[in-house]
Amino acid sequence: MDQILVQTLHGLVNGMVLAMVASGLTLIFGIMDIVNFAHGDLLMLGAFVGASVLGVTGNYWLALLAAAVVIALLGALLQVTTLRPLIGRDPLTTILATFGVSLVIQKYALWQWGPSVRRISEPVRGDFTMFHVQYPWYRIATAILAGLILAGLWLFLKYGKYGIWIRATTQDRVMAQAMGIPVPLVYTAVFAIGSAMAAASGVLFGPFAGVTQTMGFDFTLRAFIVVVVGGMGNLGGSILASIFVSLLEAYAAIVVSPAQAVIVSFVVLVLTMLFRPTGLFVPTPK
Amino acid sequence: MTATPAARPRPPAVGYWIGFAVVGALLVVAPLVLPPFWQRFATEILIWGLLAMSSDILIGYTGMVSFGHSAFFGLGMYGAAAALLTVKPPSLGLALFYGLVAAGVAAVFVAYFATRLRDIYFAISTLVFSQIFYVIIFTWTEVTGGENGLTFRQPSLSILGFWSDRFTPTTLHWFVLAVVLVSYLLVRRITQSPFGMVLQSIRENEPRTRAIGYHVERYKIVAVMLSGLFAGLAGVLYAIQNKFAAPDFVFFVVSGEVVIFNVMGGMGTLVGPFAGAAFFLLLREGLSRFLTEYYLIPLGIIFVIMIIFLPQGLLGFLRRRLND
């Protein structure tokens, strides 16, 4: 019983972090048709930047902010140099290009920070007890923070002037251009926002398991799964899907080893693509 | 779709066959003149080229990008390992048979699900399937050796039981070369057959192919199966060359490299993937001399630049002539 409670909490917390990662990915896909293979590696790089800033200043919140800003700038640079020339080509070429970028980022991190695991110490300490179960406060704080950031993103997209530009571009890029929206600039900004979301979730996730240069691929794959299960380009759907998949994985980890529990989410993905390719958490298209 | 090309008389592809003979002869002579290191290197290029060519059936001819070829390659390796470890004395023929069966069964399984999806969804689903195989192989330690993989003895080279001898690097190279050349001619014949024409028309316009009356899904399943079989063949050859099977070769990085070989060499040419593999492996060798494991930084940048400025790849300009 206790184990189920702990796994439920784990699933919810991991789901919120994953939702942040996936929201960046789905934003980028929904607007630019770019399948960003380097998303997890931007997360990893963000976590490393955060760990370094934390090491120098000792301030966790500063590290979070710095990582988001640095990776957002890097994302904008990447978009302008590698992805902008590919606009209008087959979306598959963007997978290849971002795959190349992901290799470069991984090896750069290895070169810069070495192969050892970096620890990010949590800013909120202590455990709390509920039904005889000890659970660290930091994980709860992470889930709440991730929820707040996602809510902020949603509000920005819904009511902010630039958010409306972004949504207009998603719906009809030609019309948006005709209405005077600088579409290329919107593309770059969206890629930067997505990268910043990835970096921030990297810093949030850092205290859970430490930071290594190989953590990126795992996140890329999970984010893909969640984005497809939730419906490509659908923000709310991918948040629900993140929590759903993470909970399933957490429960599966009670029975089998965590390494094998990953298969559960693979199976969910395959079933979703076969029987409901538009996504589990979106209204049925007419 | 098949009627149109038949209407125009086919020009005799003399230049093509001369080129084929010259390259073939060079590859036959290669192990006799190269120092041992480069000799082994040439064999490896042929094996990786075969793997990349198998994926070209999908990428270049059917228009489906597979990110899961490491699974077929790896299952070929583990299939060969199973034959070499369980049957005494180790037999080359059985290794090939087991490897091909393992890869073929996996390919049918993956194809059944993945071919219902298109474009990036196909790519993601093949990636996910290959990761399923990777997780199973990685965690099922009793059978697959887990992280350490399996090591075994090299089988002896025998042809239909008439004659048997131990592999030397030179005979291994010739054996691999023979398998690769036969596979190449076979795949080339397949892509030029009516079946191959249907695949190419799926690449050009899937709805129209369907409208003409071809059962697109069946053609796709067969294409993935063929591709998986040749990938498995490459896996068997690699296992025989290196005497081990390891989960690293089932990991998706191998699939990514296969796609890189295709893009660098030129998709839809069958020869391009070999050129891409050679180009990539030579660059890696040269760069890792002074950059050690960081060779991927410049290599990744070169790859991205090639995608942007040279989408046809190194041999893309020969595409028409290579397919005639």
- pLDDT, one tens digit per residue, over A262-276 is 788 888 888 887 787
pLDDT band at A74 (very low <50, low <70, confident <90, very high): very high
Average pLDDT over residues A168-195: 84
Residue B1: predicted pLDDT: 44
In this predicted model, which residue has the larger pLDDT, A121 or A110?
A: A110
Rounded to the nearest angstrom, the minimum Cα separation between B109 and chain A is 12
Would A227 be classed as within a structural domain?
no
Would A238 be classed as within a structural domain?
no
**Which of A96, A104, A269 has its CB closest to that of B128?**
A269
**Range of weakest confidence among A71-80, B74-83, B138-147:** B138-147
B59: left (phi over 0), alpha (psi -120 to 50) or beta: alpha
Rounded to the nearest angstrom, the minimum Cα separation between A134 and chain B is 30
**Which of A101, A111, A263 has its CB closest to that of B304?**
A101
Does the beta carbon of B263 lie under 8 angstroms from any beta carbon of chain A? yes
Average pLDDT over residues B111-130: 83
Residue B47: predicted pLDDT: 92
Q: Mark yes or no for CB contact A107/B311 under 8 Å.
A: no
Residue B175 has pLDDT above 50, yes or no: yes
**Which of A97, A257, A260 has its CB closest to that of B307?**
A97
DSSP string, A78-138: HIIIIIGGGTTS-HHHHHHHHHHHHHHHHHHHHHHH-SSPBP---SS--EEEETTEEEEHH
For residue A285, the one-letter residue type is: P
Task: Calculate the average pLDDT of chain B.
Answer: 83
Residue B13: predicted pLDDT: 74
Q: Mark yes or no for CB contact A110/B293 under 8 Å.
A: yes
DSSP class of residue B231? H
Average pLDDT over residues B182-198: 90
Does the beta carbon of B301 lie under 8 angstroms from any beta carbon of chain A? yes
Percent of chain B with pLDDT over 90: 14
Would A239 be classed as within a structural domain?
no
Residue A284 has pLDDT above 70, yes or no: no
By CA distance, what is B130's nearest residue in A? A266
Would A122 be classed as within a structural domain?
yes
Residue B230 has pLDDT above 90, yes or no: yes
**Range of weakest confidence among A144-153, B56-65, B150-159:** B150-159
Task: Say which residue the tokens 């149109």 belong to.
Answer: B4
Beta strands at B244-245 and B157-158: parallel, antiparallel or unpaired: unpaired
Residue B146: predicted pLDDT: 73
pLDDT band at B10 (very low <50, low <70, confident <90, very high): low
Would A252 be classed as within a structural domain?
no
**Which of B128, B263, B303 has its CB closest to that of A266?**
B128
The total number of structural domains in chain A stands at: 1
- pLDDT, one tens digit per residue, over A215-236 is 888 888 888 888 888 877 677 8
- pLDDT, one tens digit per residue, over B235-285 is 999 988 888 888 888 888 888 889 888 888 888 888 888 888 999 888 888
Orientation of helix A183-209 relative to helix A137-159, angle to 10°:
170
By CA distance, what is B122's nearest residue in A? A273
Q: d(Cα B42, Cα B173) in Å, to the nearest integer?
A: 8
What ipTM was estimated for this complex?
Answer: 0.81
Beta strands at A133-136 and A127-130: parallel, antiparallel or unpaired: antiparallel
Residue A285 has pLDDT above 60, yes or no: no
Q: Domain span at residue A139?
A: 13-213
Q: d(Cα A202, Cα A195) in Å, to the nearest integer?
A: 10
